[in-house]
Structure 1
Amino acid sequence: MRGLIVGAAAVLVVLAGCGAPPGPAGLDGVWQGRIDVPGSPLDIQVTFDGTGGGVDIPAQGITALPVRDVRVEGTRVSFALPDAPGGAAFTGTLSGETIAGDYTQGAAPPIPFTLARGELAAPARPQEPRPPFPYRADDVTVESGDVTLAGTLTRPEGPGPFPAVVLITGSGAQDRDETLSGHKPFLLLADTLTRAGFAVLRTDDRGVGGSGGAPSGTAYDVLADDALAAAAFLRGTEGVDPARVGLFGHSEGGYLAPLAASRGEVAFVVSMAGPAVPGEDVLILQNRLLREQAGAPSADTEAYLAFLDRFVDLLRAGDVDAARELSRDEVVGQLATLPESQRPGPEQVEAIVASTLDLAPFLLHDPAPSLAALDVPVFAFFGERDLQVPPSQSEGPMRELLAGNPDATVTTFPGLNHLMQPSATGAIGEYGAIETTIAPEVLDAVTGWLTARFT
């Protein structure tokens, strides 16, 4: 789940790019190292080729983020990442086969970095499933209205009939594996559940991978219908028991799964870090916690949260033009703190503004009606250290809204973050540095809950 705008004091965040233009001859080749972000150091790989290059940051799922303006003046080396929010730059000293210096992004203070020649070792992901698999895995397509969704269907060996699960991703443009910070949570979930005797369907989001449609701003009713289309596909699949097809949603997917269940035929709902309060409440607390953790001045945080309140009020009133103007003023005001050379152009500003408006379906959604209406088995769980969907905000309301359901389980796992990883602080910057994709106790709990009821 994403925040609205990342402030200068927030954890380092860069945008994915593609393509690697050329860098300087003296630096040609591959370099690896680290940006020493306090509490969440980032391993990086930089490839120089001619007059430019590309940066990979595995922990943030970034590959070939374009490098520009590479300069070598004696032992001084500098290069820029113009596609990073607010602009970013490296300035350092070349000594033999190493470069050391400062990384700056936007108006944030400089952060030390070091690079050395060589390739960055792939991050350890001990849970990531590797072939050969003891089950069938097929690429499939699902028709939802006039859009085709591409996905992967995994099925246990044998004739069945098997119970089945549709996986629903969190916010943002997600692929079928929900790839995030170098992890593939939905690949792991699909593997775990299929080995336990369930067929599992996971699809690329609209506008991602092989799926058609727009990648953002789609109404929740439409996204819920996508989930129901996937469930209908499973009910029509050979070897699947049509009476035992349910939904598993993560984060924003935890909004969509109950909504879909209220609109169609579903045998069960599993919600992993799914909010139980309106989206605007989630976003405000999320931003408060993340900004406090990043050390943002309290006055800046309060001003930003006041902006969010006004922004949501305008969206709720249907005044999209006024919301757009308010968002533009906020974005321009934040960018004005940057050096002029680092400020994005008008087109980039408008893209940022458009992305804030795309949050409207999330911000205006109230999950209470669909959660209270659930009359199928429900397993809703949270991570104690989740800063994006804090259990302090959602666990209580979830219990209250499901109180009338005779088979509803609500729990919070100690020490886990939004991805259900063991975490020291819950910080987003930790996600990629943690080797565990999903804590084993969560996988065991989900598998056990489903197996006890549907196998």
Structure 2
Amino acid sequence: MRAAVPSARLGLAVLGASVVGVVLLSVAGRLLGPAQDWRPEPYVAPPLTDRPPPPVDTGSAPSDGDAEHGVVREDISVPVRGDELAATVFAPDAPGSYPAVAFVHGAGAGDRSSFFGLAERFARAGIVAVAYDKRSDYSYFDNRDFDQLAEDASAVVAVMRDRSDVDPERAGLWGLSEGGRVVPLAASRDSGVAFVVTVGGAIRGPLRNTAWSVYEGLAAAGAPAGAGRLAVRILGGGHLFTLHLDPPTGVWAGVGQPALVIYGTNDYLVPPAESSRHIVDDLRRGGNTAHAVRFFDGADHGLRRDGDYAPGYVRTVTDWITGLPGSAAAAAPVAGPLPVQRYATTPVPRTPWYGGTPGLIATVLLTVVGALVVPAIVRRRLPAGAGECAAVLRSSRRAMRAGIAAYAVMWAYVGLTIGLGYTRNGGELLFQVGWGLVRAAGLLAVVAGAAAGAALLTARRHGWAPEGAQQVLLASHGAVAALMVLSVAYWGVFEPRW
């Protein structure tokens, strides 16, 4: 067919419409987004000490923390409210009155066997160590009752205190990650808990910690700020059950027992600087002077480095426990290299319903219907022949596919950024180029939509009017294309800031 306007003018019209479309989509993204936009805040709290802390004693042997004691193992059960917990005790194989410690799980199912290796090393160092299963009705998503978990931990300590080989004045708790939320609750309510050790203790809720970890990791790798904001906004759709809730503040202020606070400097699941600062401030506010903080260089959330526990970690804990009560006062307040933290943890705003899981499911279902189901039904009813109809439908189909491609590229990049940011992998080039591809795909979708609109208007000027099945197919293509670019706009792809 012959164009109603010269191709150059048509191209300028498409370009102009694309520019206007990008501007409108940028505004739409801002309007559709959460009422409170997330912005990273620099971490500005002072370090725990003004002077360089002394190094942690890393020991001198590969068997660091092991001693001369043989080990005897015993399976027991601990009655608790509404349940009975299976537990395994590792004790020194020699008569005596030893300190005791119970291992409190972090998030997740919590099988006691995960602590067997550590419990045996503690027993060899002269500590009665018990690993126990979490209660059977615990659920990470819909039954994270920390009061109940603290009550369970106290029940385990009570059973240990009744043992003939345990000094009842030296039976305490060791908590990993979210176990660091359980042990201060138990200690603040139960004077029978003689001490607490927290390793990688979580102070904030899972969603807030995850957002910090991803953004901190991306910033360290040189990723664009827009990519970090996109990742955190995506995480804002994860306001599921109680994962977005922070624990109550001030719990550690109620802990008067000796406390040992331990973090690895490469802890990517919780911020070691902010978390340790929070715990120490609470302990001091409550008047607790019998506390110590230890940082282990290069150690991860579980205090591992290169697959094994960080040098000196086991010895630090066992020496501190076996040396109580004297070790609580004699220990240096802070030791080990201070962790570096760029950004503070900040609450993640809740996304509107269409930005969360329900909206994502609805978007995918509508796309499948509009891009596959409707065309499959309608295409058989299209009139034979080419001409205006075929050209317009090809153009609308390209716009739809370009929108779907932009949406898919964005989600692929989101998965990449969250995964690599969380694990501190990936480099600046990867993140920058990927972000550029996401934005380019969004722009191409807008251009394809503008071109489809121009093709339809041109055909209408020539007197063509879609009928029946043609109208349905054009509407289906257009609806999917619009849904895709609006979805991409919602996630901030068209924002002017890089």
Q: Taking structure 2 as the reference length, what is the TM-score of the superposition?
A: 0.47
1:159 maps to 2:95 = yes
- Please list, as runs of the form range in 1=range in 2, the aligned pairs for 1:349-368 lying within 5 A after superposition: 356-357=240-241, 359=243, 363-366=245-248, 368=249
- Distance in 1 between the 2:77 and 2:242 partners? 26
- Please list, as runs of the form range in 1=range in 2, the aligned pairs for 1:306-325 lying within 5 A after superposition: 306=233, 308=235
Alpha carbons of structure 1 residues 435 and 174: separation in structure 2 relative to 1, 3 Å: same
Match of 2:304, SS state, is: coil
Match of 2:107, SS state, is: coil
Alpha carbons of structure 1 residues 239 and 280: separation in structure 2 relative to 1, 3 Å: same
Number of residue pairs matched?
Answer: 259
Match of 2:298, SS state, is: coil
1:213 maps to 2:95 = no
Q: Which has the higher contact order (CA 8 A, sep 6+)?
A: 2
Identity, % of aligned pairs? 33
Match of 2:250, SS state, is: helix
Q: Which structure carries more strand by proportion?
A: 1
Q: Hey, what does 1:23 align to over in structure 2?
A: none
Decide which of 266, 278, 292 is 1:409's aligned counterpart: 292
- Distance in 2 between the 1:253 and 1:147 partners? 19
**C-alpha displacement of 1:237:** 2.3
Alpha carbons of structure 1 residues 280 and 369: separation in structure 2 relative to 1, 3 Å: farther
Flag the structure with larger Rg: 2
Is this contact kept in 1: 2:196–2:258, CA < 8 A? yes
Decide which of 241, 264, 267 is 1:383's aligned counterpart: 264
- Please list, as runs of the form range in 1=range in 2, the aligned pairs for 1:45-444 lying within 5 A after superposition: 134-178=70-114, 186-206=115-135, 212-216=136-140, 217-264=143-190, 265-277=192-204, 281-289=208-216, 298-306=225-233, 308=235, 356-357=240-241, 359=243, 363-366=245-248, 368-403=249-284, 404-422=287-305, 434-436=306-308, 438-444=309-315
TM-superposition CA deviations, 1:312-362 (whole Å, max 9, x none): 5xxxxxxxxxxxxxxxxxxxxxxxxxxxxxxxxxxxxxxxxxxx42636xx
Alpha carbons of structure 1 residues 127 and 444: separation in structure 2 relative to 1, 3 Å: closer
**C-alpha displacement of 1:262:** 1.3
Q: Which runs of 5+ in 2 are unaligned?
A: 1-61, 327-498
**C-alpha displacement of 1:439:** 1.5
**C-alpha displacement of 1:224:** 0.9
Is this contact kept in 2: 1:129–1:191, CA < 8 A? no
Is this contact kept in 1: 2:99–2:321, CA < 8 A? no
Match of 2:155, SS state, is: helix
**C-alpha displacement of 1:134:** 1.6
Match of 1:402, SS state, is: helix
Q: Which structure carries more helix by proportion?
A: 2
**C-alpha displacement of 1:300:** 4.8
Report the aligned-residue RMSD. 3.0
- Distance in 1 between the 2:321 and 2:210 partners? 31
Q: Hey, what does 1:450 align to over in structure 2?
A: 321
**C-alpha displacement of 1:409:** 0.2
Alpha carbons of structure 1 residues 399 and 359: separation in structure 2 relative to 1, 3 Å: same
TM-superposition CA deviations, 1:6-49 (whole Å, max 9, x none): xxxxxxxxxxxxxxxxxxxxxxxxxxxxxxxxxxxxxxxxxxxx
Is this contact kept in 2: 1:277–1:393, CA < 8 A? no
Is this contact kept in 2: 1:156–1:195, CA < 8 A? yes
Is this contact kept in 1: 2:77–2:86, CA < 8 A? yes
**C-alpha displacement of 1:275:** 2.8
